[in-house]
Amino acid sequence: MNQFLPYFILLPLAGWVLSALFPNRNEKIIFGISIATVALHSIGVFALSLFWLYQDKPNVFYDGVSLYKTHDSDFSIDFYFDGISSVYAVVASVLTFSVMIFSRFYMHRDKGFKRFFNNVLFFYLGLSIVLFSGNFETLFIGWEILGVTSFFLIAFYRDRYLPVKNALKVVSLYRVADAALLLGIWLCHHAFEKNITFSELLNPAVLQEHFMEEPIYPLLISSIFLLAALVKSAQFPFSSWLPRAMEGPTTSSAIFYGSLSVHIGVFLLLRTFPIWESSEVFRAVVIAFGLITSLMATATARVQSTVKTQIAYSSIAQIGLMFIEVALGWHTLALIHFAGNVFLRSYQLLVSPSVLSYMIHDQFFNFIAPQHNIKNTLWGKLRLTVYMLSIKEWNLDNFMYRFLWNPLKRLGALLDFIPVRAVTLLFVPLFLVGFFFVYNRELLPPAALEHLPSAMAVIGIMLALKAFKMRGNAQLSWSLVIMNQLFSALSIGLHEEFEHVQILLFLSGIVVSGIVGFWCLRYLVKEGESIKLDRYHGHSFYYPRLTFVFMLAALSLSGFPITPTFIGEDLLLGKIDEHQFLLLGFTALSLILDGLVVFRIYARLFLGPNEKGYHEVAFRSS
């Protein structure tokens, strides 16, 4: 049975590649390839699930290809199938098949018809990788694909202001989840002294053997994975991103944010449950987050004025209950709850335009003003307070800006004293000197070798913060990201147990993507176009092919799977010692900031309303 698991990844991949070969005008061919891919995948999932039940529900593991192997780590693509995978895969295949049929007519003659179906197929590929993943490394590949497709589908109407802006908001929080998942993988690598598989996590002897000497590991690993799950499933205090994600087409909202993608946090908790199963305190923490989210989201959903926002917060509330069910060990109930919530929210989103039209008509002819004033009682004042907080969505959006992004911007503003010339005149020679010592560590005294990695990491984070704050020339911002990546690699490369081939693998991805990105930016300048980051330029209107090339460079530079940069990031993180928390923190923050800066450069230059005044411009708010 296990030899069939790779085909559930190869089939969506083949369908995605094949559909990308046809132009937008061939709607029937593009739809035919897409629906055939999902249909065949659905048939295979149903057949595998029935055979799995007939075989008395064994845990199926497939030891896949190894992308990179060293003496202490093995970056391999493994697949796994059990009851959790079966429920998620069956629900995902049925729902995606249904929504694709609906989308054929919904997206008919839309100029982004091909782009929509390609994104949906790419999303389905990422979802399949997550659901059939056999280890955390494989899961992270699918996790990243889901994040990237979310960005593209939220910004699907890329000539409008608000979809692009909200796509950047969502991907900003997604980068936090990505970094959290990477840190969790790093902790697992040190705790188990190898790349642990999901089948091994089910063995209590393996957990007891590695957690007996270091009991702090289960709590740290569980906390990091919980952070990733909270962000991905829009739980408190990260709930505000989900309504903003509804800017894409209604059909993509029905697949992504009302149903499948937003439930991946529950899937992660189910996969990691053996790690924190015995911790009553941590289970109470998960229950607390789920309960707070459910109460706040329910109150918010009842008073929102837009139907999509109401559905989004209703889904968040139900997912909060699923967090509670997982923490209590009621996994079967959580899976049933997941299936019911997915189909209900997808149906609600698909019919929401019709319901909205009916409700507006009903309100116009049947409005009844309140008959009494509730301001004079304590209970009435309390109700009004909750009402106002719910209308403002409990100010969670403002909370994110004030306590997460604004402090980083203020730190970046403190670095304005660094002149532009310093990037080339100071930091490039400094990197070359450090790179020399990577291959000649014996020339450095032990004290310098001990503190030099942290110093290089500090320089890298300074460059990343400056790029994060910058709103000027895109070429300079792009170069700061590259320099940050180089210094981050240098900080880990000075580790005494580091292998030189790994840093070269990482640098190859940075150098190639950096050069391609510079060429794209230089081409825009040569054509007389602006590349300032203080506004949206919408260059994709005139340069669609250049937009695609720069998008590939941006994804590679930000560590998208399975580029050399991505493999290098995983290998480099594995070399950080478990006691080097300062170096780890700087490296994780660099990964977050680099992704944000790269996505912002791409969005500001190529997305949004075109800067030419004679084009139609959509309203800023929709």
| Bridge partner residues of 62 (DSSP) | 79
Residues 401-433, buried b or exposed e (16+ Cβ, 10 A)?
eeeeeeebeeebeeeeeeeeeebeeebeebbee
CA–CA distance, 564 with 486 (Å, rounded to integer): 14
CA–CA distance, 353 with 211 (Å, rounded to integer): 52
Give the per-residue pLDDT at 56.
83
Residues 381-390, buried b or exposed e (16+ Cβ, 10 A)?
eeeeebeeeb
CA–CA distance, 437 with 250 (Å, rounded to integer): 55
Reference 86, options 138, 41, 49, 40; nearest CA is: 49
Tokens of 389: 């907080």
Predicted model pTM: 0.91
CA 165 to chain centre: 16
Question: Residues 263, 270: contact at Cβ < 8 Å?
Answer: no
Q: How far apart are the first and last CA of the chain?
A: 49
CA distances from 602 to 474, 547, 589 (A): 9, 8, 20
What count of Cα atoms within 13 Å lies in the side-chain half-sphere of residue 4?
13
Tens digits of residue pLDDT in 155-166: 888 888 888 988
Reference 554, options 20, 129, 152, 120; nearest CA is: 152
Task: Give the DSSP H/E element, type plus range, for residue 80.
Answer: strand 79-81
Handedness of CA 493, 494, 496, 500 (dihedral sign): positive
Determine if the peptide bond prior to 287 is cis (ω within 30°): no
What count of Cα atoms within 13 Å lies in the side-chain half-sphere of residue 557?
33
3-state SS class at 495: coil
Question: Residues 30, 113: contact at Cβ < 8 Å?
Answer: yes
Kindly give the parts of the chain with pLDDT less than 70. 1, 68-74, 212-213, 258, 354-376, 420-424, 495-500, 571, 578, 613-622
CB atoms within 10 A of CB 280: 10
CA–CA distance, 139 with 78 (Å, rounded to integer): 9
What count of Cα atoms within 13 Å lies in the side-chain half-sphere of residue 52?
23
Give the per-residue pLDDT at 622.
45
Give the per-residue pLDDT at 11.
92
